[in-house]
Structure 1
Amino acid sequence: MLASFVHGFLLALGLILPLGVQNVFVFNQGALQPKLRNALPVVITAALCDTLLLTLAILGVSVLILSVPLIKSILLVAGVLFLLYMGYVTWRSQPSDRQGREAESYSARKQITYALSVSLLNPHALMDTVGVIGTSSLSYSGTEKWIFALSCILVSWVWFFALALAGRFIGSLSSSDRFIRYLNKISACIIWASAVLMIYLW
Protein backbone atom coordinates (compact mmCIF):
# COMPACT_ATOMS: atom_id res chain seq x y z
CA MET A 1 0.00 0.00 0.00
CA LEU A 2 2.84 2.38 0.83
CA ALA A 3 4.44 1.63 -2.52
CA SER A 4 1.26 2.57 -4.43
CA PHE A 5 0.94 5.80 -2.42
CA VAL A 6 4.56 6.83 -3.04
CA HIS A 7 4.29 5.87 -6.72
CA GLY A 8 1.15 7.97 -7.20
CA PHE A 9 2.59 10.89 -5.23
CA LEU A 10 5.84 11.08 -7.19
CA LEU A 11 4.12 10.53 -10.53
CA ALA A 12 1.52 13.25 -9.95
CA LEU A 13 4.18 15.64 -8.64
CA GLY A 14 6.28 15.12 -11.74
CA LEU A 15 3.31 15.88 -13.99
CA ILE A 16 2.11 18.97 -12.12
CA LEU A 17 5.48 20.70 -11.55
CA PRO A 18 6.15 22.04 -15.09
CA LEU A 19 5.15 25.68 -15.61
CA GLY A 20 1.96 25.44 -17.65
CA VAL A 21 -1.12 27.58 -18.23
CA GLN A 22 -2.99 26.20 -15.22
CA ASN A 23 -0.10 26.77 -12.82
CA VAL A 24 0.55 30.27 -14.16
CA PHE A 25 -3.10 31.26 -13.76
CA VAL A 26 -3.31 29.99 -10.16
CA PHE A 27 -0.05 31.75 -9.23
CA ASN A 28 -1.14 35.00 -10.90
CA GLN A 29 -4.44 35.09 -9.05
CA GLY A 30 -2.65 34.42 -5.78
CA ALA A 31 -0.37 37.39 -6.52
CA LEU A 32 -3.10 39.74 -7.77
CA GLN A 33 -5.84 39.10 -5.23
CA PRO A 34 -5.84 41.40 -2.17
CA LYS A 35 -6.16 38.40 0.18
CA LEU A 36 -5.42 34.69 -0.16
CA ARG A 37 -9.05 33.74 0.45
CA ASN A 38 -10.03 35.72 -2.67
CA ALA A 39 -7.97 33.27 -4.74
CA LEU A 40 -9.73 30.22 -3.28
CA PRO A 41 -12.21 29.92 -6.21
CA VAL A 42 -9.38 29.31 -8.70
CA VAL A 43 -7.54 26.97 -6.32
CA ILE A 44 -10.59 24.84 -5.54
CA THR A 45 -11.76 24.77 -9.17
CA ALA A 46 -8.34 23.72 -10.47
CA ALA A 47 -8.03 21.03 -7.80
CA LEU A 48 -11.56 19.72 -8.46
CA CYS A 49 -10.86 19.57 -12.22
CA ASP A 50 -7.67 17.62 -11.58
CA THR A 51 -9.58 15.31 -9.24
CA LEU A 52 -12.17 14.69 -11.98
CA LEU A 53 -9.55 14.06 -14.68
CA LEU A 54 -7.49 11.76 -12.47
CA THR A 55 -10.56 9.77 -11.46
CA LEU A 56 -11.69 9.41 -15.08
CA ALA A 57 -8.19 8.40 -16.16
CA ILE A 58 -7.89 5.74 -13.48
CA LEU A 59 -11.39 4.43 -14.27
CA GLY A 60 -10.52 4.40 -17.99
CA VAL A 61 -13.46 6.61 -18.99
CA SER A 62 -11.30 9.41 -20.44
CA VAL A 63 -9.69 6.99 -22.91
CA LEU A 64 -13.11 6.33 -24.44
CA ILE A 65 -13.94 10.06 -24.63
CA LEU A 66 -10.65 11.03 -26.32
CA SER A 67 -10.89 8.13 -28.76
CA VAL A 68 -13.79 9.94 -30.51
CA PRO A 69 -12.13 12.17 -33.19
CA LEU A 70 -14.92 14.81 -33.18
CA ILE A 71 -14.69 15.34 -29.42
CA LYS A 72 -10.91 15.60 -29.61
CA SER A 73 -11.13 18.15 -32.47
CA ILE A 74 -13.67 20.27 -30.58
CA LEU A 75 -11.45 20.25 -27.51
CA LEU A 76 -8.43 21.28 -29.58
CA VAL A 77 -10.18 24.19 -31.33
CA ALA A 78 -11.76 25.46 -28.12
CA GLY A 79 -8.48 25.09 -26.27
CA VAL A 80 -6.43 26.99 -28.88
CA LEU A 81 -8.93 29.88 -29.10
CA PHE A 82 -9.16 30.17 -25.35
CA LEU A 83 -5.38 30.13 -24.88
CA LEU A 84 -4.91 32.84 -27.51
CA TYR A 85 -7.48 35.01 -25.72
CA MET A 86 -5.98 34.33 -22.29
CA GLY A 87 -2.52 35.25 -23.59
CA TYR A 88 -3.86 38.56 -24.94
CA VAL A 89 -5.59 39.44 -21.67
CA THR A 90 -2.53 38.49 -19.60
CA TRP A 91 -0.14 40.47 -21.82
CA ARG A 92 -2.26 43.62 -21.50
CA SER A 93 -2.45 43.38 -17.70
CA GLN A 94 -0.33 46.29 -16.44
CA PRO A 95 -0.95 46.86 -12.71
CA SER A 96 1.10 49.88 -11.66
CA ASP A 97 0.20 49.83 -7.96
CA ARG A 98 -1.70 47.82 -5.38
CA GLN A 99 -5.06 49.29 -6.43
CA GLY A 100 -4.18 48.52 -10.04
CA ARG A 101 -3.37 44.96 -9.14
CA GLU A 102 -6.67 44.54 -7.34
CA ALA A 103 -8.46 45.92 -10.38
CA GLU A 104 -6.69 43.33 -12.56
CA SER A 105 -7.64 40.45 -10.26
CA TYR A 106 -10.57 38.34 -11.40
CA SER A 107 -13.94 37.95 -9.72
CA ALA A 108 -14.85 34.55 -8.30
CA ARG A 109 -16.99 33.78 -11.38
CA LYS A 110 -14.16 34.67 -13.79
CA GLN A 111 -11.67 32.67 -11.77
CA ILE A 112 -13.92 29.60 -11.91
CA THR A 113 -14.64 30.02 -15.64
CA TYR A 114 -10.98 30.45 -16.60
CA ALA A 115 -9.79 27.70 -14.27
CA LEU A 116 -12.34 25.31 -15.81
CA SER A 117 -11.14 26.26 -19.28
CA VAL A 118 -7.40 25.94 -18.69
CA SER A 119 -7.96 22.67 -16.83
CA LEU A 120 -10.46 20.93 -19.11
CA LEU A 121 -9.80 22.45 -22.56
CA ASN A 122 -6.18 21.32 -22.74
CA PRO A 123 -6.02 18.06 -24.72
CA HIS A 124 -2.35 17.55 -23.92
CA ALA A 125 -3.04 17.71 -20.20
CA LEU A 126 -5.82 15.20 -20.74
CA MET A 127 -3.55 12.91 -22.73
CA ASP A 128 -0.81 13.16 -20.10
CA THR A 129 -3.28 12.25 -17.40
CA VAL A 130 -4.65 9.35 -19.42
CA GLY A 131 -1.31 8.16 -20.79
CA VAL A 132 0.73 8.40 -17.61
CA ILE A 133 -1.62 8.24 -14.61
CA GLY A 134 -4.22 6.03 -16.29
CA THR A 135 -1.64 3.58 -17.62
CA SER A 136 0.29 3.46 -14.34
CA SER A 137 -2.87 2.73 -12.39
CA LEU A 138 -3.24 -0.54 -14.34
CA SER A 139 -0.46 -1.96 -12.14
CA TYR A 140 -2.80 -1.87 -9.16
CA SER A 141 -6.19 -3.22 -8.21
CA GLY A 142 -8.64 -2.94 -5.34
CA THR A 143 -7.49 -0.91 -2.34
CA GLU A 144 -4.03 -0.27 -3.76
CA LYS A 145 -5.55 1.30 -6.88
CA TRP A 146 -7.59 3.76 -4.81
CA ILE A 147 -4.62 4.59 -2.58
CA PHE A 148 -2.68 5.34 -5.79
CA ALA A 149 -5.56 7.56 -6.96
CA LEU A 150 -5.91 9.38 -3.64
CA SER A 151 -2.18 10.15 -3.51
CA CYS A 152 -2.36 11.69 -7.01
CA ILE A 153 -5.38 13.77 -5.98
CA LEU A 154 -3.66 14.86 -2.75
CA VAL A 155 -0.74 16.23 -4.75
CA SER A 156 -3.08 18.40 -6.83
CA TRP A 157 -4.85 19.93 -3.84
CA VAL A 158 -1.65 20.65 -1.89
CA TRP A 159 0.13 21.98 -4.99
CA PHE A 160 -2.55 24.50 -5.99
CA PHE A 161 -2.91 25.83 -2.45
CA ALA A 162 0.88 26.17 -2.18
CA LEU A 163 1.05 27.90 -5.58
CA ALA A 164 -1.60 30.47 -4.61
CA LEU A 165 0.15 31.01 -1.27
CA ALA A 166 3.47 31.63 -3.05
CA GLY A 167 1.73 34.08 -5.38
CA ARG A 168 0.17 35.89 -2.42
CA PHE A 169 3.56 36.19 -0.74
CA ILE A 170 5.10 37.73 -3.87
CA GLY A 171 2.07 39.96 -4.38
CA SER A 172 2.25 41.28 -0.81
CA LEU A 173 5.77 42.68 -1.28
CA SER A 174 5.78 46.43 -1.77
CA SER A 175 8.35 46.17 -4.56
CA SER A 176 6.50 43.44 -6.45
CA ASP A 177 4.71 45.61 -9.04
CA ARG A 178 7.57 45.35 -11.54
CA PHE A 179 7.79 41.61 -10.89
CA ILE A 180 4.05 41.24 -11.57
CA ARG A 181 4.39 43.11 -14.88
CA TYR A 182 7.25 40.85 -15.98
CA LEU A 183 5.37 37.79 -14.75
CA ASN A 184 2.37 38.78 -16.89
CA LYS A 185 4.56 39.06 -19.99
CA ILE A 186 6.24 35.71 -19.34
CA SER A 187 2.89 34.10 -18.56
CA ALA A 188 1.38 35.41 -21.81
CA CYS A 189 4.31 34.00 -23.82
CA ILE A 190 3.93 30.60 -22.12
CA ILE A 191 0.19 30.61 -22.85
CA TRP A 192 0.73 31.52 -26.54
CA ALA A 193 3.49 28.93 -26.84
CA SER A 194 1.08 26.30 -25.51
CA ALA A 195 -1.49 27.31 -28.14
CA VAL A 196 1.11 27.12 -30.94
CA LEU A 197 2.29 23.73 -29.69
CA MET A 198 -1.30 22.45 -29.70
CA ILE A 199 -1.73 23.58 -33.32
CA TYR A 200 1.63 22.07 -34.35
CA LEU A 201 0.87 18.70 -32.77
CA TRP A 202 -2.73 18.57 -34.04
Structure 2
Amino acid sequence: MLAPFLSGYLLGLSLIVAIGAQNAFVLRQGLRGDHVWLVTLTCAVSDAVLIVVGVEGLAQVQTALPAIVPWMRYAGAAFLLLYAARALRAALRAGGTLSPAAGGAPGLAATLATCLALTWLNPHVYLDTVLLIGSVAASQGEGRPLFAAGAIAASFSFFLALGHGARLLRPLFARPLTWRVLDGVVAVTMAVLALGLLTSG
Protein backbone atom coordinates (compact mmCIF):
# COMPACT_ATOMS: atom_id res chain seq x y z
CA MET A 1 0.00 0.00 0.00
CA LEU A 2 2.95 2.32 0.51
CA ALA A 3 4.20 1.91 -3.05
CA PRO A 4 1.98 4.68 -4.52
CA PHE A 5 2.98 7.02 -1.67
CA LEU A 6 6.69 6.37 -2.24
CA SER A 7 6.29 6.76 -5.99
CA GLY A 8 4.55 10.09 -5.52
CA TYR A 9 7.16 11.22 -3.00
CA LEU A 10 10.11 10.39 -5.25
CA LEU A 11 8.54 11.95 -8.32
CA GLY A 12 7.55 15.10 -6.44
CA LEU A 13 11.02 15.43 -4.95
CA SER A 14 12.75 14.97 -8.30
CA LEU A 15 10.68 17.76 -9.83
CA ILE A 16 11.37 20.41 -7.18
CA VAL A 17 14.99 19.76 -6.22
CA ALA A 18 16.43 21.47 -9.31
CA ILE A 19 17.42 25.11 -8.82
CA GLY A 20 14.82 27.60 -9.96
CA ALA A 21 13.29 30.94 -9.13
CA GLN A 22 11.19 29.57 -6.30
CA ASN A 23 13.99 27.58 -4.68
CA ALA A 24 16.45 30.47 -4.94
CA PHE A 25 13.94 32.75 -3.23
CA VAL A 26 13.31 30.25 -0.42
CA LEU A 27 17.07 29.80 0.07
CA ARG A 28 17.64 33.54 0.32
CA GLN A 29 14.80 34.00 2.80
CA GLY A 30 16.14 31.10 4.85
CA LEU A 31 19.65 32.56 4.92
CA ARG A 32 18.30 35.88 6.14
CA GLY A 33 15.82 34.31 8.54
CA ASP A 34 13.19 36.55 6.96
CA HIS A 35 9.55 35.31 7.02
CA VAL A 36 10.83 31.74 6.58
CA TRP A 37 7.72 29.96 7.85
CA LEU A 38 5.44 32.07 5.66
CA VAL A 39 7.55 31.51 2.55
CA THR A 40 8.05 27.77 3.00
CA LEU A 41 4.40 27.09 3.84
CA THR A 42 3.20 29.27 0.96
CA CYS A 43 5.32 27.32 -1.50
CA ALA A 44 4.33 23.95 -0.08
CA VAL A 45 0.60 24.73 0.12
CA SER A 46 0.66 26.13 -3.43
CA ASP A 47 2.26 22.92 -4.66
CA ALA A 48 -0.31 20.88 -2.75
CA VAL A 49 -3.17 22.76 -4.42
CA LEU A 50 -1.66 22.25 -7.87
CA ILE A 51 -1.00 18.57 -7.22
CA VAL A 52 -4.59 18.01 -6.14
CA VAL A 53 -5.80 19.83 -9.25
CA GLY A 54 -3.67 17.62 -11.46
CA VAL A 55 -4.56 14.36 -9.72
CA GLU A 56 -8.27 15.18 -9.76
CA GLY A 57 -8.23 15.35 -13.54
CA LEU A 58 -8.17 19.09 -14.24
CA ALA A 59 -4.79 18.81 -15.94
CA GLN A 60 -6.51 19.25 -19.31
CA VAL A 61 -7.03 23.00 -18.89
CA GLN A 62 -4.12 23.89 -21.14
CA THR A 63 -5.35 21.44 -23.75
CA ALA A 64 -8.90 22.76 -23.61
CA LEU A 65 -7.72 26.39 -23.66
CA PRO A 66 -4.57 26.40 -25.80
CA ALA A 67 -4.71 30.20 -26.18
CA ILE A 68 -3.75 30.59 -22.53
CA VAL A 69 -0.40 28.81 -22.96
CA PRO A 70 1.51 31.66 -24.70
CA TRP A 71 0.19 34.22 -22.22
CA MET A 72 1.36 32.10 -19.30
CA ARG A 73 4.75 31.73 -20.95
CA TYR A 74 5.19 35.46 -21.61
CA ALA A 75 4.00 36.50 -18.15
CA GLY A 76 6.35 34.02 -16.53
CA ALA A 77 9.29 35.12 -18.66
CA ALA A 78 8.66 38.79 -17.91
CA PHE A 79 8.57 38.20 -14.18
CA LEU A 80 11.72 36.05 -14.28
CA LEU A 81 13.58 38.78 -16.19
CA LEU A 82 12.55 41.38 -13.63
CA TYR A 83 13.73 39.12 -10.83
CA ALA A 84 17.00 38.51 -12.70
CA ALA A 85 17.56 42.25 -13.04
CA ARG A 86 16.99 42.75 -9.33
CA ALA A 87 19.42 39.96 -8.47
CA LEU A 88 22.03 41.35 -10.88
CA ARG A 89 21.74 44.79 -9.30
CA ALA A 90 22.27 43.23 -5.87
CA ALA A 91 25.31 41.31 -7.16
CA LEU A 92 26.90 44.50 -8.47
CA ARG A 93 26.46 46.31 -5.18
CA ALA A 94 28.61 46.01 -2.07
CA GLY A 95 27.15 42.62 -1.15
CA GLY A 96 24.35 41.27 0.96
CA THR A 97 24.04 40.71 4.66
CA LEU A 98 22.42 38.20 6.95
CA SER A 99 20.54 41.02 8.65
CA PRO A 100 17.13 41.62 7.04
CA ALA A 101 16.97 45.16 8.35
CA ALA A 102 20.43 46.13 7.14
CA GLY A 103 19.69 44.62 3.75
CA GLY A 104 16.47 46.56 3.37
CA ALA A 105 14.38 43.41 3.21
CA PRO A 106 10.80 43.83 1.97
CA GLY A 107 7.90 43.66 4.39
CA LEU A 108 5.53 40.77 4.95
CA ALA A 109 3.09 41.74 2.17
CA ALA A 110 5.84 42.28 -0.41
CA THR A 111 7.53 39.00 0.55
CA LEU A 112 4.27 37.08 0.21
CA ALA A 113 3.50 38.75 -3.14
CA THR A 114 6.93 37.84 -4.51
CA CYS A 115 6.62 34.27 -3.26
CA LEU A 116 3.18 33.83 -4.83
CA ALA A 117 4.32 35.38 -8.12
CA LEU A 118 7.40 33.14 -8.33
CA THR A 119 5.13 30.16 -7.77
CA TRP A 120 1.99 30.90 -9.77
CA LEU A 121 3.52 32.87 -12.68
CA ASN A 122 5.97 30.08 -13.49
CA PRO A 123 4.56 27.95 -16.33
CA HIS A 124 6.91 25.11 -15.40
CA VAL A 125 5.05 24.61 -12.14
CA TYR A 126 1.92 23.78 -14.12
CA LEU A 127 3.79 21.41 -16.41
CA ASP A 128 5.41 19.65 -13.46
CA THR A 129 2.85 19.59 -10.66
CA VAL A 130 -0.35 19.61 -12.71
CA LEU A 131 0.31 17.91 -16.02
CA LEU A 132 3.16 15.53 -15.22
CA ILE A 133 2.13 14.49 -11.70
CA GLY A 134 -1.50 14.41 -12.81
CA SER A 135 -0.77 12.13 -15.75
CA VAL A 136 1.37 9.74 -13.69
CA ALA A 137 -1.27 9.67 -10.95
CA ALA A 138 -3.86 8.61 -13.51
CA SER A 139 -1.98 5.32 -13.90
CA GLN A 140 -2.10 4.59 -10.18
CA GLY A 141 -5.73 3.47 -10.10
CA GLU A 142 -6.99 3.23 -6.52
CA GLY A 143 -3.57 4.36 -5.32
CA ARG A 144 -4.10 7.89 -6.67
CA PRO A 145 -4.85 9.45 -3.26
CA LEU A 146 -1.70 7.92 -1.75
CA PHE A 147 0.32 8.98 -4.78
CA ALA A 148 -0.91 12.55 -4.37
CA ALA A 149 -0.19 12.44 -0.64
CA GLY A 150 3.37 11.33 -1.38
CA ALA A 151 3.95 14.16 -3.85
CA ILE A 152 2.53 16.68 -1.39
CA ALA A 153 4.70 15.29 1.42
CA ALA A 154 7.77 15.70 -0.82
CA SER A 155 6.92 19.35 -1.38
CA PHE A 156 6.44 20.10 2.31
CA SER A 157 9.59 18.26 3.39
CA PHE A 158 11.75 19.87 0.71
CA PHE A 159 10.67 23.47 1.24
CA LEU A 160 10.80 23.20 5.03
CA ALA A 161 14.28 21.65 4.84
CA LEU A 162 15.52 24.26 2.34
CA GLY A 163 14.13 27.26 4.18
CA HIS A 164 14.99 26.24 7.71
CA GLY A 165 18.16 24.32 6.89
CA ALA A 166 19.66 27.33 5.12
CA ARG A 167 20.80 28.68 8.49
CA LEU A 168 23.52 26.00 8.47
CA LEU A 169 25.12 27.96 5.62
CA ARG A 170 25.13 31.24 7.53
CA PRO A 171 28.86 31.17 8.38
CA LEU A 172 29.59 31.04 4.65
CA PHE A 173 27.14 33.84 3.88
CA ALA A 174 28.56 36.10 6.58
CA ARG A 175 30.88 37.37 3.84
CA PRO A 176 29.47 39.93 1.35
CA LEU A 177 31.36 38.27 -1.52
CA THR A 178 29.34 35.07 -1.06
CA TRP A 179 26.12 37.07 -1.41
CA ARG A 180 27.45 38.57 -4.63
CA VAL A 181 28.13 35.12 -6.01
CA LEU A 182 24.68 33.87 -4.97
CA ASP A 183 22.93 36.88 -6.50
CA GLY A 184 24.99 36.47 -9.67
CA VAL A 185 24.04 32.79 -9.95
CA VAL A 186 20.38 33.64 -9.31
CA ALA A 187 20.45 36.38 -11.97
CA VAL A 188 21.93 34.05 -14.59
CA THR A 189 19.55 31.23 -13.65
CA MET A 190 16.49 33.46 -13.88
CA ALA A 191 17.60 34.88 -17.23
CA VAL A 192 18.23 31.42 -18.66
CA LEU A 193 14.83 30.22 -17.46
CA ALA A 194 13.15 33.27 -18.99
CA LEU A 195 14.90 32.79 -22.34
CA GLY A 196 13.94 29.13 -22.24
CA LEU A 197 10.30 30.07 -21.83
CA LEU A 198 10.45 32.59 -24.68
CA THR A 199 12.04 30.12 -27.07
CA SER A 200 9.98 27.07 -26.11
CA GLY A 201 6.85 28.08 -27.95
Distance 1:156 1:69 in 2: 28
Q: Is 2:180 aligned against 1:181?
A: yes
**Which of 60, 63, 69 in structure 1 is aligned with 2:60?**
63
Distance 2:165 2:105 in 1: 16
Matches within 5 A, 1:1-202: 1-33=1-33, 38-65=35-62, 67-93=64-90, 94=93, 95-99=95-99, 102-142=102-142, 144-171=143-170, 175-202=174-201
**Percent identity of equivalent pairs:** 28
Using structure 2 for the length normalisation, give the TM-score.
0.89
Distance 1:57 1:175 in 2: 41
Could you tell me whether the CA contact under 8 Å between 1:170 and 1:176 is conserved in 2?
A: no
Distance 2:65 2:162 in 1: 34
Pairwise CA distance, 1:51: 0.7
Could you tell me whether the CA contact under 8 Å between 2:88 and 2:184 is conserved in 1?
A: yes
Pairwise CA distance, 1:176: 3.7
Could you tell me whether the CA contact under 8 Å between 2:98 and 2:174 is conserved in 1?
A: no
Could you tell me whether the CA contact under 8 Å between 2:137 and 2:147 is conserved in 1?
A: yes
- Render the CA deviation track for 1:166-190: whole Å, top value 9, x for unaligned: 3223235573432122101101110
CA RMSD of aligned residues (A): 2.0
Residue type at the aligned position of 1:160: F
Pairwise CA distance, 1:200: 0.6
* Cα distance change on mapping 1:122 and 1:3 into 2, 3 Å: same
Could you tell me whether the CA contact under 8 Å between 2:137 and 2:144 is conserved in 1?
A: yes
- Render the CA deviation track for 1:72-129: whole Å, top value 9, x for unaligned: 2221121111111111111222445444774243322122111111111111221122
Greater shift in the superposed pair: 133-142 or 57-66: 57-66
Greater shift in the superposed pair: 63-72 or 53-62: 63-72
Could you tell me whether the CA contact under 8 Å between 1:83 and 1:195 is conserved in 2?
A: yes
